[in-house]
Amino acid sequence: MRGRQSANLCLFLGPAMVLLLLFFIAPVIVDLIISFTDIGRTLRITEFTTAQFERMFTRDSRLTKSLAITLVYVFFTLAIFNVTFGLVLALTTTAVSERLGAFFRSVWLLPRMSPSVVYALMWLWVVDPAERGLMNQVLLAAGLDPVDMRSNAPVLLIVIANGFIGASMGMIIFTSAIRSIPEHLFHAARADGAGALATVRHVTLPAIRWPLSFITVYQTLSLLVSFEYIWLITDGGPFYDTTVYALYVYKRAFENGQYGYGAALALVLVLVGIAASLLMWRFFDMKRLLQQPRIEVH
């Protein structure tokens, strides 16, 4: 019986464990090891040292600034787009007719479906500071002055560019969550005298509490580490104004060839990620989301 049990364990949990080990745990260990070396552009390790950490804590003035930018970027992208706007899209597209709702959901999925580079190039055209930029064409046609978002509001630009993509994930998850609410609850609320807003507040939102928590946690983590659109649209600029932490790590390691230092910086991201997940796990009481298995295994 005992042998059978461990065989089952290997069989069912094995593949997932192997993947987790190969792609999540092993890289962290490799990163940890590299961060204690002096590996650089020559890819040669001459000594094991704590010099990278000394540098990080004493001489890197960019580090804290970059963390602060990350905080602003993650918070506003989440708060405005990935959660709030995703929810608004889900609520509105489920309230209109099925066909119209599906149409708008598809429209909002387009940014996610287009290749990153194409999407970034579109944004570059939209915010082009010259008169040919789409936004400036609109502003000029409306009799307003042209603007240069990339220079004057770069953080807002990266928040919007990422948010337009990020909102669709929440939209899809929330849409299916709203659809799974028994229709009778909406009928009951209507007969009880609740208007549209009261129904959202008292019926819809409480019912999609878990998807809301999940999207918040998941998107926080994914925003923390993703930087490709920022890299493509502003390249972290002007100066370092939109260099979020993940991009900073990338630049140090791969653009400056300081692999050892990059590895040390990346460890901070791992720690921030773990801390953020644990905090939110607590905050949203996600333990209650875990359900007892319905099938007992002996």
179, 187, 201, 282: which one contacts another protein (CB under 8 A)?
A: 187
- Residue of 95, 100, 188, 271 that binds another protein (CB under 8 A): 188
Q: Is there a contact between 108 and 101 (Cβ–Cβ < 8 Å)? A: no
Size of the site for another protein (CB under 8 A): 18
Which residue, 109 or 181, has its beta carbon nearer to another protein? 181
Q: Are 269 and 217 in contact (CB under 8 A)?
A: no
Rounded to whole angstroms, the Cα distance separating 279 from 271 reads 12
CB 276 within 8 A of CB 220: yes
- Binding characters for another protein, 157-186, by CB under 8 A (x = yes): -------------------------x-xx-
Which residues, 6+ apart, have CB-to-CB distance to 264 below 8 Å?
35, 52, 53, 55, 56
Our finding on whether 270 is near another protein (CB under 8 A) is no
- What are the start-end ranges of the H helices in 142-182? 149-152, 154-179
Residue with smaller CB distance to another protein, 191 or 290:
191
- Residue 191 binds another protein, judged by CB under 8 A: yes
Q: Shortest distance, CB of residue 195 to another protein, whole angstroms? A: 8
C-alpha 87/C-alpha 171 separation (Å) is 6
d(CA 231, CA 244): 10
| H/E run at residue 105 | helix 98-113
Give the number of other CB atoms < 10 A from CB of residue 126.
Answer: 18
User: Is there binding between residue 153 and another protein (CB under 8 A)?
Assistant: no
Q: Cα separation of 284 and 68, whole Å?
A: 24
Region 101-130 residues binding another protein, contact defined as CB under 8 A: none
Which parts of 192-211 interact with another protein (CB under 8 A)? Answer: 192-195, 198, 202-203, 206-207, 209
Q: Does 294 bind another protein (CB under 8 A)?
A: no
Give min distance, CB of 201 to another protein, in A.
11
Residues at the site binding another protein, with contacts judged by CB under 8 A: 182, 184-185, 187-195, 198, 202-203, 206-207, 209
